[in-house]
Amino acid sequence: MRAGTSLPDVARYNQNVVIHAFRRMGPSSQTDVVASTGLSAQTVSTIVRGLVSGGMLREIDTVVAGRGRPKTIMDIVGSARFAVGVHADPSLMTAVVLDLRGSVVGEARTAGVDTEDPERAMDEAAGLATEAMTAAGVDGSRLEGACLAAPGPVDARRQCLVNPVWLPGWAGAPIGQMLGSRLGMPVPLVKDTLAAVIGENWVRGGQTLDSTMVFVYLGAGTGLGISVNGEPLRGASGNAGEVGSILVALSPGGRRVGDGLDNDPAVVVEKAHGLGILGGEAPPRTVQTAVARDLRRLCEAAASGNADASRLLGGGAARIADVAVMAAEMVDADMVVFGGPYWQMVAPWYEGAAREALGRPSARGPHAVEMLSTVMGEHVGAVGAASVVLDDRFVPRTPRAARS
């Protein structure tokens, strides 16, 4: 059934079209926006006046080009609106406050998460979110909302995780509602890979909004985010990007889903201990703080010339490169972005393998595939979660296409 659209919805949609144009083009004139959006000059002028009076746009320059009136260059005011993002990762909890331009203006984090007690974990998450908001000095009237990102799969309707491998005690717990009740606002729960691709589009803007992008997320496990012209692929339940079965197929030895894979940090660390590179016993796979510590030690050993450490990291790099190529070919991507909690640590080994694989003609097809590291730094999950709020509010979508 086709749905109608009310005049207020049309007005909001067109306003978001203009905001989206500034995000894509950067500082621009009204003439530029008219040419980019197809809206009439009168409509753009009316919307721009409203955005200026509302503090969301400001004049930054005047350009004289030949005859005629000078062009007034406008840009988005970052401090006009804010959003809070919280990332619950097995190895840490992070909260950030993000402004309208995608800049982090407040943050708080803690190492370690209670993987068995979601109530206690959400108490901590609420404290971190409050700490980040205090650090940012955010005026509540300019806060658009908050969002929670966590390793999937997620049940968006029940606001819980489904059989979470790395957070076993959280299965079925409505953590989105738990955090929302503590913060006094609705807090949707999204999969961390979905948050990552939305965050990359929001923070990077520009070229990603006209690209088919694959985001390769390296955390406790590996996942993908996909977007086309800035629109994220959510899937039927918001869990698009689960690639465990693909990684199993690429792994030697007839592994099964759940066995652990060559590129999983916990498996890499176990192998490093088995080879005597790190010494002692490997930590339990669920103790991700210890896994992260030992993975860092392994990277340091490889950087110092340990050949066994380099070969071990090279094996994981090859698997990730294969996944990146398969994903790029599947959706005909022209951009692949790497990020996640472990990306910066393993990038010296993984980046080269991925760049080489994506540069082969079979991966490129008729066009080049650009490979990039995320612009969100180490707080990918939290920045992505905050971006979900801004994406829901300010990306132009018809009512039926918008998320509820």
Q: Assign residue 107 the CATH number of its domain.
A: 3.30.420.40
> CA-CA distances (angstroms) from residue 61 to 24, 42, 48, 99?
18, 21, 15, 22
Cα separation, 30 vs 74, whole angstroms: 8
State residue 254's pLDDT score: 47
Total structural domains within the chain: 3
Q: Is residue 257 included in any domain, yes or no?
A: yes
State residue 255's pLDDT score: 46
For 394, residues 6+ apart whose C-beta sits below 8 A from its C-beta are 16, 19, 20, 81, 100
The secondary structure element, H or E, covering residue 34 is helix 30-37
Q: Is residue 204 included in any domain, yes or no?
A: no
**Tens digit of each residue's pLDDT (9 = 90 or more) over 173-214:** 999 999 999 999 999 999 999 999 999 999 998 888 889 999
State residue 263's pLDDT score: 66
Domain check: are 72 and 99 in the same one?
A: no
For 315, the 3-state DSSP assignment is helix
State residue 91's pLDDT score: 83
Chain centroid to CA 235: 16
For 29, residues 6+ apart whose C-beta sits below 8 A from its C-beta are 63, 71, 72, 73, 74
State residue 3's pLDDT score: 53
The range of the structural domain enclosing residue 38 comes to 7-76
State residue 164's pLDDT score: 87
First to last CA, the chain: 18
Strand 82-89 to 143-150 pairing? parallel
Q: Is residue 2 included in any domain, yes or no?
A: no
Domain check: are 254 and 370 in the same one?
A: yes
Strand 143-150 to 189-191 pairing? parallel
Q: Is residue 45 included in any domain, yes or no?
A: yes
For 184, residues 6+ apart whose C-beta sits below 8 A from its C-beta are none
Domain check: are 163 and 215 in the same one?
A: no
Chain centroid to CA 94: 13
Sign of torsion over alpha carbons 90, 91, 97, 100:
negative
Domain check: are 190 and 315 in the same one?
A: no
Domain check: are 247 and 266 in the same one?
A: yes
State residue 256's pLDDT score: 42
For 386, residues 6+ apart whose C-beta sits below 8 A from its C-beta are 83, 84, 85, 96, 97, 98, 146, 147, 199
At position 228, the amino acid (one-letter code) is V
Domain check: are 68 and 86 in the same one?
A: no
State residue 259's pLDDT score: 42
Domain check: are 101 and 233 in the same one?
A: no
Which residues, given as ranges, of the chain have pLDDT below 50? 1, 254-260, 404
State residue 279's pLDDT score: 84
Domain check: are 187 and 272 in the same one?
A: no
For 322, the 3-state DSSP assignment is helix
The secondary structure element, H or E, covering residue 369 is none
Domain check: are 306 and 159 in the same one?
A: no
